[in-house]
Every structure is written in C-alpha cells, then in structure tokens.
C-alpha cells in the first residue's frame, strides 16, 4: 500500500491534479455525495436484514431510518409549506392550518365511532399514532382537554366562516351598484310615461331592492366600524318604494349616496380580509398546543425534514432531494462503468486487431451514431413498457449503456491505433508475446487515462439523461428522483411555489458542476497532450 502511495506522490499527473484547488473542492463535494450514497445503501441493507429477521424495524430509528425509501413518500406536513421557517402568505397559512385541524378531526371522528360501538375500533393509542405526521404527534393530553381546545378552534373557524361570507357579499353589492347605474341611464334616456320608461323604472326599483337586501344581510354580521354598515341607506329604501309605486323621485335616487356606498364597498374589503386573517393569531397557538413541534432528537430530525418545505402531497422536499442523489449516483455509476468498460474493450480490440474486427466495430458505432441521441434513448427505454421492469431503473441502465459506449469506443480505438505502432509494443511482438497479452498488458493500461475521463463525462450524461427520461415518464415511476420532483412541480410552479423544482435543480447542479470541474482537471493531469 505504501509503494502505491509513494508512486502516486511521484507521479507528475497526480501532483498536477492535487495542485488544482478547484479539482480538490470538486472532489470534496463529490465525496460528500458518495458518502450519502453509501449511507443510504447501507441503511437499506440494514433495514432489509431487520425486516427479514424480524428483529428490529429501522423505520422507528429517527436518524438511521430517515432516508429509507418509504420515508420519502411519508406525509410530514401540509401542502407546499415553505422552507427555512419562512411564513407563507395569510391565505396559504389558513389553508395549511386547516389541514392540521382536519387531521385532528379525523382522530375525534374515529374515537366517537369506536365509543358508540358502530365500528370495531382501534385503541386510543393506535388512533393517536395514525394521525401523526412523522415525528410530529398529537399532544400527550387527556382526550377531554384536547376536545376542549378543538372546540375552541372550531369557534374561531366559525367566526372566520362568517367573515368569509361577508367578503363574498361585497362583490355582489358592487355588481348590483353597476347594474343600478346602467338601469338609471336607461331610465333617464327614455320618454317619460312611456312603457319603456315604466320598465326602466321597475328595473331600478328591483335592483335597489336587491342591493338593500344584500346590505341588510351584510350589516347584521359586519364587524364594528365597517364602512358599508355605517352608510345610511334609508333614502334608497324611499327611492325604491316610490319607483315601485310608479311615482319615482326626481332624481330617481340619490346618486351621491350610491357613490358613497360604492366607495364604502371598496374600503370594506381589506378590513374584512384583515379580520379573516387575524383568526390565524387565535388558531396557531391552539394548533401548537394540540400538534406541538417535537423537541430533542426527534425535533431535530423533523426540522431537518422541513428545512426545504413540503411538496403538494405534504412530503419532505429535503428527504426527497437527498434520496434522489442516491438514485442519480446509482444510475451514473452503473452506466458509466458498463459503457466505458464495454466501449473501451471493443475499441481497443478494433484498433489493435484491425481487419474485419475493426470494420465490424466501425459499422456498429456508425449505425448507432446515425440515430439521434434522444430518440435512441427514448426508443430503448420505451421497449420495456408493459414489462415487469417498467418503472424501475433497469430500462435506464439498458438505454444508457447501449447508447453511451460509442464515445469511449471511438476514443480508445484512436488511441490504440497510435499505441500499436510504438516501440514497446513492437518489441513485445518480436519477443513472441500473444496478441491478447499485448492488448491487456500494454494497450489497455495505457488508455486508462481515457477511461477515467470518459467515466466522469458519462457519469454526468447518465444523471442528466435519467432526469430527462423520468420527466418524460420513461424512467422511474415511483419513489423519489430529481426527474420525478421536477415533473411533479409543474402545477406548483404555476401556483408560484418553486421550492421543489429549486431543490432538485440545485442538488443536480452542484453534483454536475463538481464532476465537470473534476473532468477538466483529470484531462489536464492525465492526458499526455496536457501533462507538462
């Protein structure tokens, strides 16, 4: 081992690589990704052993079981919660608070059904566990106390509901005022005492009646100091009665009063909205008492889950992004190893043996190269549709491996054509060494620098290809991957929620950038044309 270390230290290529700060930073980032990959694989193996032997359940361990595949599908909160503790706008927060209380109501519904004997119920402990969201569980309080707090929240929701109904009435009053203005213009434009004049007057009276009914309903529930409720609409009542009696006033109604009413409708909207959102200040403390954020080790794990928020299904974006790195690295490692190994071997054989072997290999990669890259990938992946492998990583392995071998094959073949004419190869032939020995001992080892560079390049290509094919629905169907995350974030982006697509893009960007930097450094250090 020490001899290998000494030889590496003496190697000019390694000294050049180690002196490249960018390459060292990139290597550190890649190492972190690789450690994550090894950790997830190890925990999956440990979980499988525990499940097979029925000795332990790793899912119950907060840290060791945090990145198991099933945890990436687990609901941990409301839909589209923001990350880093950032608060959403009030309307979205109301929706999220409502989700938690709806979850709590399911617990009470099941407890009531079990208590009434209408269904065969689970134990209270099991029911409490069923509404837990990862480490966030219902408070360990007596059921009666929980019910009292829930009833208090229901009262707040009821008041909020009344405010929402009031908010809905404001646009109706506004529309009524617009109609009233149009009918008044028609009334004033017609000849007095004509049939059209009577019809227009009746339309004004009916619209006034509609507005007054809406204002009466609104004022009965309006908060103190509301601008609409403060308007004295009695003159409009008198105008309506006179219009119905076919003895309309002149003018038919007080236009300035209606204008004041229209302005009051506009002014009342923000106040009602503030009253609706103010209920958050009453609901959130109740929610914290009933659904407390965990503390201790479980609390740290839960906060880590929620660091980047949740997706539309309430799943942890952080866990899904981290687990997706494992999927991407797995695809990159398998594809780059298989494609480089296969391509390099047949490229070296074609370049060294020549003749019919060379012609066959050239025809093969020329044929594959004539097909557009993405089309070939899609066709190869689509071949597995309807098979037992659909939705797994197997179609991706096959599609990428059958596509990516072409580059290493061409490069290795060209390098082999140069190497076979060198003196040490000619000397080996003169000494009677077999072609296989020359190929494996002299040709292939001297193309290893190309293998390293090509593996790094294909690793990047496989990761990006996996994202593209999964996004198109031809890759992984279930679980977590950056392609799935980007695909599922389409409706979220339309709604202005960018956390999921941002997380997937960021983690992929960092890994791909690190490999790009390392690839350039490897080429500068190990390619003979660049080594100084």
Question: d(Cα 263, Cα 227) in Å, to the nearest integer?
Answer: 9
Residue 243 has a pLDDT of 85
CATH code given to domain 2-24+316-526 = 1.10.3720.10
Structure tokens at 76: 């941990």
Report DSSP letters for 34-98, one per residue: HHHHHHHHHHHHHHHHHHHHTS--GGGSTTTTTTSGGGGGSB-SSTT--STTPPPPHHHHHHHHH
Contact 198, 246 (CB under 8 A): yes
Residue 1 has a pLDDT of 45
Residue 504 has a pLDDT of 93
Nearest to 387 by CA among 279, 477, 454, 321: 477
Contact 503, 310 (CB under 8 A): no
Q: Which residues contact 73 (CB under 8 A, 6 or more apart)?
A: 315, 479, 480
Q: Enter the DSSP assignment of 440.
A: I
Per-residue pLDDT for the chain (532 aa), expressed as one digit of tens each?
A: 454 455 555 567 667 767 778 888 988 999 999 999 999 999 999 999 988 888 888 888 878 888 888 889 999 999 999 999 888 888 888 889 999 999 889 888 888 877 655 556 678 888 888 888 888 999 888 989 999 999 999 998 888 888 888 888 889 999 999 998 898 888 888 888 788 888 888 898 899 999 999 999 988 888 888 898 888 989 889 889 888 887 888 888 888 999 999 999 999 888 888 888 888 888 989 999 999 988 888 888 899 999 999 999 999 999 999 999 999 999 999 999 999 999 988 888 888 888 898 899 889 888 888 877 778 777 877 788 777 877 788 888 888 888 888 888 998 888 888 887 777 777 776 776 777 777 777 777 878 878 888 888 888 888 888 888 888 877 788 888 999 999 999 999 988 899 999 999 999 999 999 988 888 887 777 665 554 4
pTM metric for this prediction: 0.81
Question: d(Cα 440, Cα 433) in Å, to the nearest integer?
Answer: 11
Residue 42 has a pLDDT of 93
Residue 3 has a pLDDT of 47
Counts of helices then strands in the chain (DSSP H, E): 21, 0
Residue 172 has a pLDDT of 92
Structure tokens at 299: 């609390």
Residue 532 has a pLDDT of 47
**Residue tagged 């595949």 (tokens):** 69
Residue 529 has a pLDDT of 55
What CATH number does domain 156-288 carry, 1.10.150, 1.20.120, 1.10.10, 3.30.70? 1.20.120
| Domain assignments of the chain as residue spans, ordered by start | 2-24+316-526, 38-71, 156-288
């Amino acid at each position: 081992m020490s001899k290998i270390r000494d030889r590496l230290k003496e190697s000019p290529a390694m000294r050049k690589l180690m002196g490249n700060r960018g390459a060292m930073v990139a290597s550190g980032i890649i190492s972190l990704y690789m450690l994550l990959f090894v950790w997830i694989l190890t925990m999956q193996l440990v979980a499988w052993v525990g499940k097979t032997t029925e000795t332990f359940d790793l899912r119950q361990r907060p840290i060791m079981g945090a990145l198991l595949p099933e945890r990436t599908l687990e609901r941990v909160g409301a839909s589209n919660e923001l990350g880093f503790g950032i608060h959403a706008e009030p309307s979205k927060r109301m929706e999220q608070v409502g989700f938690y209380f709806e979850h709590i109501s399911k617990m009470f519904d099941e407890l009531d059904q079990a208590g009434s004997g209408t269904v065969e119920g689970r134990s209270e402990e099991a029911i409490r566990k069923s509404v837990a969201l990862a480490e966030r569980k219902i408070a360990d309080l007596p059921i009666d106390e929980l019910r009292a707090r829930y009833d208090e929240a229901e009262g707040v929701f009821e008041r909020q509901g009344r405010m929402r109904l009031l908010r809905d009435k404001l646009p109706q009053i506004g529309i009524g005022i617009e109609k009233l203005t149009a009918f008044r213009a028609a009334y004033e434009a017609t000849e007095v005492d004509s049939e059209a004049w009577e019809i227009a007057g009746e339309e004004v009276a009916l619209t006034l009646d509609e507005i007054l009914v809406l204002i009466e309903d609104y004022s009965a529930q309006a908060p103190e100091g509301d601008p609409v409720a403060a308007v004295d609409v009695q003159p409009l009542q008198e105008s309506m009665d006179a219009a119905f009696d076919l003895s309309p006033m002149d003018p038919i109604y007080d236009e300035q009063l209606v204008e004041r009413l229209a302005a009051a409708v506009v002014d009342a909207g923000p106040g009602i909205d503030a009253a609706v959102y103010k209920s958050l200040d009453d609901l959130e403390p109740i929610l914290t008492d009933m659904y407390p954020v965990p503390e201790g080790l479980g609390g740290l794990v839960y906060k880590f889950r929620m660091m980047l928020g949740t997706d539309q299904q309430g799943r942890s974006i952080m866990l899904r992004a981290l687990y997706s790195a494992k999927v991407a690295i797995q695809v990159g490692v398998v594809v780059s190893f298989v494609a480089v190994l296969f391509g390099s071997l047949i490229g070296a054989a074609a370049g060294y043996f020549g003749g019919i072997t060379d012609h066959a290999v050239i025809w093969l990669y020329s044929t594959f190269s004539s097909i557009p890259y993405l089309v070939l990938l899609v066709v190869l992946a689509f071949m597995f549709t309807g098979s037992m492998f659909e939705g797994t990583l197997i179609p991706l392995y096959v599609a990428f491996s059958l596509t990516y071998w072409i580059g290493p094959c061409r490069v290795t073949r060209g390098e082999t054509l140069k190497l076979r004419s060198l003196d040490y190869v000619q000397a080996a032939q003169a000494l009677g060494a077999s072609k296989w020995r020359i190929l494996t001992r002299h040709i292939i080892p001297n193309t290893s620098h190309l293998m390293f560079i090509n593996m790094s390049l294909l690793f990047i290509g496989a990761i990006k290809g996996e994202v593209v094919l999964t996004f198109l629905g031809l890759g992984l169907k279930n679980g977590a991957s950056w392609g799935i995350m980007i695909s599922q974030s389409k409706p979220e982006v339309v709604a202005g929620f960018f956390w999921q697509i941002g997380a997937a893009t960021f983690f992929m960007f960092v890994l791909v950038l690190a490999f790009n930097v390392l690839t350039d450094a490897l080429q500068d250090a190990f390619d003979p044309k660049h080594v100084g």
